[in-house]
Amino acid sequence: MAEKILKSVILVESAAKARTFRKFIGRTYSVLSTDGFLKDLPKSRIGVNESYQPDYITVRGKGPLLAELKRETLRARRIFLATDPDERGEFLARQCCEIFGVNALSRCRIVLNELTREKFRAALDAARPIENNLADAFQAKQIIDKYVSHRIGEYLSLKIWRGVKVGRFRAMLLKLIAKPPALKTLKPGKILTPAALQEIALNELNFSAARTRFIAEQLYEGFNFGTDGTAGLIAFPHGDSISLTSEARTPETVREFLTEYQLKLYGLIHTRLTEKKSAASYKIDGTVSDATLMAAFDKLGVNWADVYSVGIASLIKRKYIVAAEGVYKVTVLGQRVLDALNGFFDEVFSPAAYNEITARVRDVAQGLVDKSSVIESYCDKFNAAFAEAAASVGEDARVQNEPVVESDEVCEKCGRKMLIRHGRYGTFLACSGYPECKNAKPYLEPLEQSCPKCGGRLMKRTLNRGRTFYCCAACDFMTWDEPQSMTCNVCGATMFAHRFKDRAPMFYCGNENCSTRTNHPMNKILARLKHRSEIRRQRKESAQ
């Protein structure tokens, strides 16, 4: 029996990137995906000790993947790390060295700005050791963000209620939404940076920052162009500037391989870079929109491109702000968060402090300062503000500060009114007779959209791990897909959006009998989900 030939293993951070690699590297390499970090700071606790040293744990659910990767790497001839060419990618590469026993001083690090066959061969020949300064820069920012977010959560849990928290950037973002600066125009920079691309795509294509960032990553990770092979269309989209790959194709030649949104964004990038087209100025109408906030951050000199879309999504999810037709407004809860922070954390959450940390992290990446000094200087300053804020809070402050909001429901155990309460796992209904009556049940938030099955009102419920589903108050309709404000142009039923991890969402009509659902690709997906749900239900019943 012939002995099995050992392959060299290449580790990347995403499945999409791994698929692109496999198309042009041949059989001598095995490409494996880590699916992001394998170890991270814990979510349930601070994960940073008094000396600001991190305590990393295996990411929940990554145990089987980690075991499989260890099996593959143990019998590998050599291990290469081709994670993204930024500070985060360098940190993940160093983490993989520690987990899989790779010598970080060996030539194990492959740096690829473009995902093409020629660039891969060149990067493989130029493989280098891990740059600890770059990894330290990411780790410094990661520790600061986690430490601040957790400690602020402790303070806000006493000041408002349990589960309320906010981070450095999101606190600054929330304050800008509440009090936006007076700006009239938005002028993207001459260089096509990630921030400039998000600004131009917003104004010319009406793309949100999250959509632009997501599609740009897809353009970088590459496509299969049939007989022309697999390659990316743009260079790494999270660096200092965005550029086309050395094998750049015109939008017309790739039209059949791209979706509508991918083609629009690639056409915008291609036109801007090849024709040297200068971005026009855009008027700002005075409302608090993405354009207003982007212009405000540009004026303040804040590097926002990598964190803006995540920050906005987090503020909406936590109900600190609401978005209606592209305009953001601070909610009552969001204003209470701002009121709790004002006067104590103005300096540590200011744009000047944010820019200072960004500059010092950049110094860490260049090897000019040690990461420990950057972490200690900021966290010590934050702790001084935190101690002053905590001293102003009484022991029973949370009970006193939490507003009493009565619901229309009556407790079925004692007849008293049910109150809308907020806890660690979201909103719930609790009896107003507590502690005599400890009855509690999930809170269903009423929505404006109607049920596509019976026409009743749709309700929203958030589960204990943050996942949300939607159901009808009058029938047995239930879905995990978010109902949209738009309705079907054929039957008038509510439209829903099914979201994927690696591609754009798919919209569909909720009415199963609508003509638009005939041969719709969502039919198979929904049937598969329904079948899985039925199997789980049967297993649960048999176990009982």
Question: What pLDDT is stored for residue 304 in this prediction?
Answer: 83
What is the chain's mean pLDDT, rounded? 85
Burial level of 308, CB count in 10 A (0-12/13-18/19+)?
Answer: buried
Conformational region of residue 45, where left means phi above 0, alpha means psi within -120 to 50, and beta covers everything else? beta
Question: What pLDDT is stored for residue 279 in this prediction?
Answer: 59
For the segment 25-49, the average pLDDT, to the nearest whole number, is 89
CATH (domain of 51):
3.40.50.140
Question: What pLDDT is stored for residue 366 in this prediction?
Answer: 93
- 235 and 168 in a single domain? The answer is yes
Question: Model confidence over 176-208: pLDDT tens digits?
Answer: 898 887 666 666 666 788 888 888 888 888 888
Residue 282's pLDDT band, with cuts at 50, 70 and 90, is: low
Would you say residue 35 lies in a domain?
Answer: yes
Question: Model confidence over 351-360: pLDDT tens digits?
Answer: 999 999 999 9
- Domain end (from 86, 108, 130): 130
Cα 141 to Cα 362: distance, rounded to the nearest angstrom: 10
- 370 and 474 in a single domain? The answer is no
Q: DSSP states of 491-526 as a string? A: T-PEEEEE--SSS--EEEES-TTSGGGTT-THHHHH
Question: What pLDDT is stored for residue 136 in this prediction?
Answer: 95
For the segment 319-325, the average pLDDT, to the nearest whole number, is 83
The winner for highest mean pLDDT among 278-292, 300-314, 350-364 is 350-364
- 318 and 350 in a single domain? The answer is yes
Please name the residue ranges forming H helices in 126-193: 132-159, 168-178
Q: DSSP states of 39-82 as a string? A: EE--SSS--B-TT--B--EEPTT-HHHHHHHHHHHHT-S-EEE-
Would you say residue 297 lies in a domain?
Answer: yes
- 383 and 246 in a single domain? The answer is yes
CA separation, residue 76 to residues 14, 89, 451 (Å): 20, 22, 54
- 482 and 376 in a single domain? The answer is no
- 208 and 348 in a single domain? The answer is yes
Q: Which of 231, 229, 296, 223 is nearest to 262 (CA)?
A: 223
* pLDDT at residue 395 is higher than 60: no
Would you say residue 59 lies in a domain?
Answer: yes
Cα 291 to Cα 285: distance, rounded to the nearest angstrom: 9
Indicate the range of 205-209, 228-232, 429-433 predicted with least confidence.
Answer: 228-232
- 244 and 281 in a single domain? The answer is yes
Cα 78 to Cα 30: distance, rounded to the nearest angstrom: 10
For the segment 494-502, the average pLDDT, to the nearest whole number, is 83
* pLDDT at residue 474 is higher than 80: yes
Would you say residue 87 lies in a domain?
Answer: yes
Q: Say if strands 29-33 and 8-12 run parallel, antiparallel, or are unpaired.
A: parallel
For the segment 242-253, the average pLDDT, to the nearest whole number, is 81
- Domain end (from 107, 130, 153): 130
Burial level of 202, CB count in 10 A (0-12/13-18/19+)?
Answer: buried
Would you say residue 28 lies in a domain?
Answer: yes
Phi, psi of 142 (to 5 degrees): -65, -45
Residue 133's pLDDT band, with cuts at 50, 70 and 90, is: very high
Determine if the pTM surpasses 0.95.
no
- 228 and 314 in a single domain? The answer is yes
- 233 and 328 in a single domain? The answer is yes
Total domains present in the chain: 4
- 96 and 170 in a single domain? The answer is no
CATH (domain of 299):
1.10.290.10
Would you say residue 146 lies in a domain?
Answer: no
Question: Model confidence over 74-109: pLDDT tens digits?
Answer: 988 899 999 999 999 999 999 999 999 999 999 999
Phi, psi of 407 (to 5 degrees): -100, 175
Angle formed at CA 510 by CA 506 and CA 512, multiple of 5 degrees: 110
- 175 and 253 in a single domain? The answer is yes
The winner for highest mean pLDDT among 311-325, 365-379, 509-523 is 365-379
Indicate the range of 200-204, 373-377, 426-430 predicted with least confidence.
Answer: 426-430
For the segment 460-470, the average pLDDT, to the nearest whole number, is 74
Q: Which of 101, 92, 99 is nearest to 110 (CA)?
A: 92
Question: What pLDDT is stored for residue 423 in this prediction?
Answer: 64
Residue 229's pLDDT band, with cuts at 50, 70 and 90, is: confident
522 versus 422: the higher-pLDDT residue is: 522
- 330 and 224 in a single domain? The answer is yes
Would you say residue 126 lies in a domain?
Answer: yes
- Domain end (from 130, 148, 170): 130
Cα 92 to Cα 82: distance, rounded to the nearest angstrom: 10
* pLDDT at residue 119 is higher than 70: yes
Would you say residue 426 lies in a domain?
Answer: yes
Task: Tell me the residue range of the domain where 187 lies.
Answer: 161-389
Conformational region of residue 118, where left means phi above 0, alpha means psi within -120 to 50, and beta covers everything else? alpha
